[in-house]
Amino acid sequence: MVTPFALDPQQRAWCDGLRTLAAERLRTLAAAGEPGRVNRPLVAALGELGLLARLFPAEGPVCAMDLCLLRESLARECTEAETALALQGLGAYPVVQSGSARQRARWMPEVVAGRAVAAFALSEPAAGSDAAALELCAEPDPSGGDGWRLTGEKTWISNAPEADVYTVFARTGQAPGSRGVTAFLVPGDSAGLSGRRLDMLSPHPIGTLAFDGVPVGAGDVLGVPGGGFRVAMRTLDLFRPSVGAFAVGMARAALAAAVAHGGERQAFGGPLKDLQAVSHQLAEMATRTEAAALLVYAAAAAYDAGEPGIAARSAMAKLFATETAQYVVDAAVQLHGARALRRGHLLEHLYREVRAPRIYEGASEVQRTIIAKELYR
């Protein structure tokens, strides 16, 4: 009998295999990449190893549990590989969810093979947590027809400005808030589209995009005009638990490092683990990490089963797991002392990586707002 939300033997074996792949195949490619730039050999390897195909199966829907296990397992061994996979998924899932047969045929084989890099372009200088406050304008094409011209700016966009295709959210009507937003599929080489890189704390590729009358037509709309905000929120409902899974992977890596250090480091006449202050800290780290993992697995299982309340469950999983990972990584750094702050140390790397997930795809404060609203729905 399998305990609810515990992984079965097949899932555990798959996760072990993923960790081995990450350690033996992907870590070297990640190390060879340039921080802040898209690592195309790494993305290609994710395609060649079939990991992107597992994320986007040829038959059937995207499986939230598979996505979470992929992200957690890769994060424990190679956060760069985890992030490359996650960004492919985030950028391309709207095509799977809402794209036409032509759009899917054009882009999904290339994305799944790791030959095309995808990106999700929602945030703007004045529209971060308040995603409905978008200002990127889609004006009717002055030459006539059924097209638009995109004018404005996006910022904090992962994989920008190097992606091959962007899911872009723009305002096509005068309706206020979320009702006037449309999702478009925009190739990276479109006329009038430019961008620049941003130098961030974590080594992810992040940048801005500038739209100077970028042409898009009816065939570039994802879903229906005016329905773009729903496309974005359905994407985030799927990916928020998996952000939690990424966080759990980092927490597990930090916890393992702390446990090993506590058993090996000699101080005050014995190993650190024999000090009650240290052993109790390790126990707290382990308990919170396990609780976060269970919350992530529960949200993913609920999503795959089509259960109600997905928005709240996704928000809870992301909120608790990312806050937990911040705590666990920080505690592991404290236990290691100065050595953990040295450039190149695992915990130095995780310390820089762990901060961003509490902000992107809805900051912790936004997740609490979602949960509170769902309580009264």
Distance (Å, rounded) from C-alpha 17 to C-alpha 21? Answer: 6
**345 and 276 both lie in a single domain:** yes
Domain hosting 101: range is: 9-117
pTM over 0.75: yes
Residues that are catalytic: 361
**368 and 292 both lie in a single domain:** yes
**13 and 70 both lie in a single domain:** yes
Contacts of 247 by beta carbon, 8 Å cutoff, 6+ apart: 75, 292, 318, 321, 322, 324, 325, 354, 357
Per-residue pLDDT reduced to its tens digit, 120-179: 999 999 888 787 789 999 999 887 778 999 999 999 999 999 999 999 999 997 777 778
**238 and 349 both lie in a single domain:** yes
Indicate which CATH number applies to the domain containing 137.
2.40.110.10
Contacts of 189 by beta carbon, 8 Å cutoff, 6+ apart: 164
Indicate which CATH number applies to the domain containing 62.
1.10.540.10
**Residue 285 domain flag:** yes
- Is residue 116 within 8 Å of 164, Cβ to Cβ? yes
pLDDT for res 4: 58
Per-residue pLDDT reduced to its tens digit, 231-284: 999 999 999 999 999 999 999 999 999 999 999 999 999 999 999 999 999 999
Q: How many domains does the chain have?
A: 3
Distance (Å, rounded) from C-alpha 305 to C-alpha 13? Answer: 23
The amino acid sitting at 226 is G
